[in-house]
């Protein structure tokens, strides 16, 4: 007899197939009297908030519950992958609640980054996506930088109300919440799992005071992230683990740069000038003549030009070209999930080829 089991902690349907999906329980644990999913288990016993990938439908259903609350929404993005980690449908789901935007992982940015300019760009980009945010904060959940400010402001903006923390997978939402919990309580009893009767979807509830809570919401997988096309090893190569070091190339027109085999940058027209590259230090850059670039890509993708590696190159989407004209001010060409290239402002026409799902954008230079 098939019995439908649900988690005693959050109410999600129990499954034993996939440990990265909601409701996972190792089959051996099905014998237990009280069955709780792995996510609730870790939370209960290790005080550790773990992210599992919810399907888009579950996610949307869950997040749209926020519209019926009176709360503050804290939206986390990865400063290194702003466009890729921005959930565009969010403002339709969270109702009229105020939103603050938190850019995480600033420890990866070079020290010389102009954080104010980065904030302005984030605010404007959010607006271009149709999302008006009250404020933007920058933090590192790894080092704790920026937490005093974000905590004080969260308290000020929430005006006694609940807080919902949202963000797509891998932005560091769990790390952010764990940091907040450990900082503010220092105890292991801070988290309780909550149960929302009538839904199969549970938020994780962290009491802020007697009347209000902070809720962790599950991360959605955003298909516009480059990482979805890559193997684990490739992702390791493109993901910076420490402060990125700029690399400077003096480029003549009719030259091409390959960023691994992921993205191609053609300098179509302009005087010789520096291209300053901000990517993970482990990611290889290759320079060639524009006229040779097509053939080089065909011959060496997955080999000299990697990631994508030989085994994952078949999955990698074809590149689509977009042309940018830069002049006047120092400009960044932003490649979501990878990094960016700074041009001096000397007139230049460049063509950037990337997967069509991964939107390349420009901003005033942040360094």
- Minimal distance, residue 290 CB to ligand GDP, in Å: 35
- Minimal distance, residue 137 CB to ligand GDP, in Å: 13
- Minimal distance, residue 94 CB to ligand GDP, in Å: 17
Measured distance CA(249)–CA(261) in Å, rounded: 18
Indicate whether 219 belongs to the interface with ligand GDP (CB under 6 A).
yes
Measured distance CA(7)–CA(21) in Å, rounded: 13
Indicate whether 74 belongs to the interface with ligand GDP (CB under 6 A).
no
Indicate whether 51 belongs to the interface with ligand GDP (CB under 6 A).
yes
3-state secondary structure of 352: strand
- Minimal distance, residue 180 CB to ligand GDP, in Å: 12
Find the binding residues for ligand GDP in span 296-355 (CB under 6 A): none
Binding window for ligand GDP (CB under 6 A); candidates: 31-39, 152-160, 167-175, 319-327: 167-175
Indicate whether 175 belongs to the interface with ligand GDP (CB under 6 A).
yes
The first and second tokens of residue 347, run together, are: 């007139």
Q: What is the largest CA-CA distance in the chain?
A: 74
By beta-carbon proximity to ligand GDP, the closer residue of 216 and 266 is 216
Q: How many residues line the site for ligand GDP (CB under 6 A)?
A: 17
Indicate whether 75 belongs to the interface with ligand GDP (CB under 6 A).
no
Find the binding residues for ligand GDP in span 96-155 (CB under 6 A): 104-105, 107-108, 140-142
Report the residue number whose CB is nearest to ligand GDP: 172
Measured distance CA(63)–CA(361) in Å, rounded: 28
- Minimal distance, residue 85 CB to ligand GDP, in Å: 9
Going 55 to 130 to 320 to 257, the CA torsion angle's sign is negative
Q: How many C-beta neighbours within 10 Å does residue 364 have?
A: 15
Indicate whether 174 belongs to the interface with ligand GDP (CB under 6 A).
yes
By beta-carbon proximity to ligand GDP, the closer residue of 99 and 293 is 99
Measured distance CA(278)–CA(260) in Å, rounded: 13
Q: Which of 172, 202, 308, 355 binds ligand GDP (CB under 6 A)?
A: 172
Indicate whether 171 belongs to the interface with ligand GDP (CB under 6 A).
yes
Measured distance CA(331)–CA(312) in Å, rounded: 32
State how far the alpha carbon of 271 is from the alpha carbons of 125, 238, 333, 352, in Å. Answer: 30, 30, 18, 18
Q: Which of 11, 22, 23, 167 binds ligand GDP (CB under 6 A)?
A: 167
Measured distance CA(327)–CA(134) in Å, rounded: 32
Who's near 97: CB < 8 A, 6+ residues apart?
Answer: 66, 67, 69, 70, 71, 72, 73, 164
List residues near ligand GDP by CB under 6 A: 51, 104-105, 107-108, 140-142, 167, 169-175, 219
């Amino acid at each position: 007899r098939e019995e439908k089991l649900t988690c005693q902690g959050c109410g999600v349907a129990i499954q034993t197939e996939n440990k990265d999906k909601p409701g996972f329980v190792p089959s051996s644990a099905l014998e237990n009297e009280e069955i709780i999913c792995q996510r609730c288990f870790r939370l209960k016993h290790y005080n550790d908030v773990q992210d599992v990938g919810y399907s888009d439908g579950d996610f949307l259903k869950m997040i749209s519950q926020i519209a019926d609350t009176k709360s503050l929404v804290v939206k986390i993005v990865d400063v290194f992958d702003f466009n890729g980690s921005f959930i565009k449908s969010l403002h339709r789901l969270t109702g009229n609640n105020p939103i603050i935007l938190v850019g995480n992982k600033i420890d990866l940015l070079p020290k010389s980054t102009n954080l104010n300019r980065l904030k302005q760009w984030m605010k404007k980009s959010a607006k271009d996506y149709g999302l008006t945010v009250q404020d933007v904060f920058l933090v590192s959940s790894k080092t704790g930088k920026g937490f005093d400010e974000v905590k004080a402001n969260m308290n000020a903006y929430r005006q006694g109300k609940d807080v919902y923390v949202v963000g797509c997978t891998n932005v560091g939402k769990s790390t952010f919440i764990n940091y907040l919990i450990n900082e503010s309580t220092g105890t292991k009893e801070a988290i309780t799992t909550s149960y929302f009767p009538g839904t199969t979807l549970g938020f994780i509830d962290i009491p802020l005071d007697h009347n209000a809570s902070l809720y962790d919401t599950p991360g959605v997988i955003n298909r516009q992230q480059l990482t979805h096309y890559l193997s684990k090893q490739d992702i390791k190569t493109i993901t910076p683990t420490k402060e990125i070091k700029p690399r400077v190339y003096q480029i003549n027109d009719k030259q091409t740069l390959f960023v691994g085999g992921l993205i191609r940058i053609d300098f179509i027209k302009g005087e010789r000038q520096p291209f300053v590259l901000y990517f993970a230090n482990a990611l290889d850059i290759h320079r060639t003549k524009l006229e040779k670039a097509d053939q080089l890509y065909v011959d060496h993708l997955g080999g000299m030009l990697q990631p994508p590696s030989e085994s994952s190159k078949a999955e990698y989407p074809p590149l689509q070209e977009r042309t940018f004209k830069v002049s006047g001010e120092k400009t960044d060409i932003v490649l979501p999930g990878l990094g960016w290239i700074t041009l001096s402002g000397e007139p230049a026409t460049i063509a950037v080829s990337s997967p069509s799902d991964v939107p390349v954008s420009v901003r005033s230079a942040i360094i």
